[in-house]
Amino acid sequence: MNILFLGIIAIAAYIIQTCLGLKQIKNFSMVYARLRKKGKVAIGRRPGKLTSGTILMFSVNQMGLIDEAEMMQGITILARFKPKKQFVGLNIRELNEQHPVFEKENRLTRQAALNAKKIYLEVEKGNYQDTKPVSPVMNVGLHLSMLKQSIQTKFSKGSV
């Protein structure tokens, strides 16, 4: 009886998490589409594994000025995009660590904004290629493979 009850709770939690995750993706898509109608969109991200993650989107006009900025920051799937008016009117090319706009911002927001600038400039030059992050499971496998290779190399050098 207890196992059945725990199973029902686990399934209900999974369904709720899925629904809220889909709602968050829909929120991202709506904000992106709205910003895309205005022009180019620079997206900066600062993923969080155990800490808060941050996504910052800038609508950038032809002159490189930020027309609108939206940011999602949080740990849970309840996070939503909120306007960041302090970035409006700034030139994305002029953003740097010492920019006065960052004085009141947290480290995650700074990193996401600088990531957006970096990606925007790389796309503008035609040099940007999106890289897919390696999952933690694949990362462990990669480290084990490298360890095995180094051990084989050491033994092969020692026997020659």
Q: What is the structure's pLDDT at 36? A: 92
2-128, CATH topology level: Sufe protein. Chain: A (3.90.1010)
DSSP 133: P
Q: What is the pLDDT of residues 89-118, one digit of tens each?
A: 999 998 888 888 888 888 889 999 999 999
SS3 57: strand
| H or E segment and range at residue 82 | strand 82-83
pLDDT value at 133 more than 70:
no
Per-residue pLDDT tens over the stretch 18-61: 888 889 889 999 999 999 999 899 999 988 777 788 999 999 99
From CA 62, how far away is CA 60, in angstroms rounded? 7
